Amino acid sequence: MGELLAAPVTVTVTAEGSQRYAQAVGDLNPIYFDEAAARAAGYRTLVVPPTYVAYALVQGRPLAGIGTDGLFGGEKSIRLEVARIMFGGEEWDFIAPVHVGDVVTGEARLTAIDQKDGSKGPFVRITREITYRTGDGEVVARTRQIGIAR
Amino acid sequence: MNAAGQLYANELELGAVLPVVLRHASRVQLFLYSAATWNPHRIHYDVDYARFEGHPDVIVHGPLQGAWLSQYVTEWAGPAGRMRSLQWQNRASALPEQDYEFHGRVTAIEGEFVTLEVWEQDRAGMVLMPGVAVVQLPLRSEG
């Protein structure tokens, strides 16, 4: 537990990636698209949707690593023989806004694996915590993602 | 969206109910969300595979519903509001081409910090995704 799941990833947040995400969600808040609107709302420049930071850091991977379910091979230490994996939820802390142009580093750690009894039988709950920092080391966001494996 | 303008923490009442917002995902939106998030999971675009995993159809991504919840809270909070935390549980799957309702109510107010109970339910009232948000709102000064 607490083990790093992969090497930390660092990216520069782009308007293109943020705006594609916002459009795919259907969230057309002008603070994501219009610099003047972002400034009027008290931000220094365009900001990104709060949950976008998780996707800004997703790295493209070769197709050869994709399994039958379409997912890329399991991360180190959570390779499980299961029929299916579902997204169980998330717990975000938004400490400071993330702006377009920010350099953000994300670090994912495995924080819990426990077995639970649900209405549809037993399942395994995998919790990983990802911490996002800007270039100066300031923590801007943190999330705990819950994966459900059956 | 709050048409009346910015909300202020000291003008809210405990138990206040947020306006209901309807959301609906087309299959095209699911595809675009998969693309925008580099998510190749087949349960979101391959009906045969989704059925093989026991789903009735392709299903709406849990994090997409989470992003809708985030949007529900930030639109309510207005431009001067700041969402400080948001948690949710994806308890049941949502399907494309169906309407889902977002609901919320104010459960605590401490200074500028307002806690909301928020959730997504289907049209029959089954809760798919319960959540909690904390929002920081400005205070309206007196006089």
* Structure tokens given for A86: 């579902």
Distance from CA of B81 to the nearest CA of A (A): 9
Radius of gyration of chain A from its Cα atoms, rounded to whole angstroms: 17
Total domains, chain B: 1
Cα-flanking dihedrals φ and ψ of residue A112, to 5°? Answer: -165, 140
B23 touches A: beta carbon within 8 Å: yes
Record: contact B38-A58, CB cut-off 8 A: yes
- B82 lies in a domain? yes
Q: A-chain residues within 8 Å CB-CB of B82?
A: 94, 97
Mean pLDDT for chain A? 90
What is the pLDDT, as a whole number, of residue B1?
A: 44
Cα-flanking dihedrals φ and ψ of residue B62, to 5°? Answer: -55, -50
Record: contact B49-A93, CB cut-off 8 A: no
Record: contact A49-B80, CB cut-off 8 A: no
What is the pLDDT, as a whole number, of residue B2?
A: 46
Total domains, chain A: 1
Chain segment A55-110, per-residue pLDDT in tens: 999 988 888 888 888 887 755 445 556 667 788 999 999 999 999 999 999 999 99
Q: Which of B87, B103, B84 is nearest to B17 (CA)?
A: B103
Q: At what angle do helices A15-25 and B27-36 cross, to 10 degrees?
A: 160
ipTM of the complex, rounded to two decimals: 0.94
| Res. A127: pLDDT tops 50 | yes
Report the pLDDT averaged over residues A27-54.
Answer: 98
What is the pLDDT, as a whole number, of residue A1?
A: 74
- A138 lies in a domain? yes
Range of the domain at A96: 9-149
- A3 lies in a domain? no
Record: contact A83-B53, CB cut-off 8 A: yes
CATH number at residue A23: 3.10.129.10
Report the pLDDT averaged over residues A31-42.
Answer: 98
Range of the domain at B66: 13-25+61-136
What is the pLDDT, as a whole number, of residue B4?
A: 54
Nearest residue in chain A measured CA to CA from B76: A29
Nearest residue in chain A measured CA to CA from B48: A69
CATH number at residue B17: 3.10.129.10
Using pLDDT thresholds of 50, 70 and 90, give the confidence band for residue A128: very high
- Positions of chain B with pLDDT under 50: 1-3
> CA B115 → CA A35, A36, B16, B103, B133, distances in Å?
29, 29, 11, 14, 6
- A141 lies in a domain? yes
Report the pLDDT averaged over residues A133-148.
Answer: 95
- A31 lies in a domain? yes
- B67 lies in a domain? yes
What is the pLDDT, as a whole number, of residue B17?
A: 98
For B29-47, b where at least 16 C-beta lie within 10 A, e where not — what string? bbebbbebbebbbbbbbee
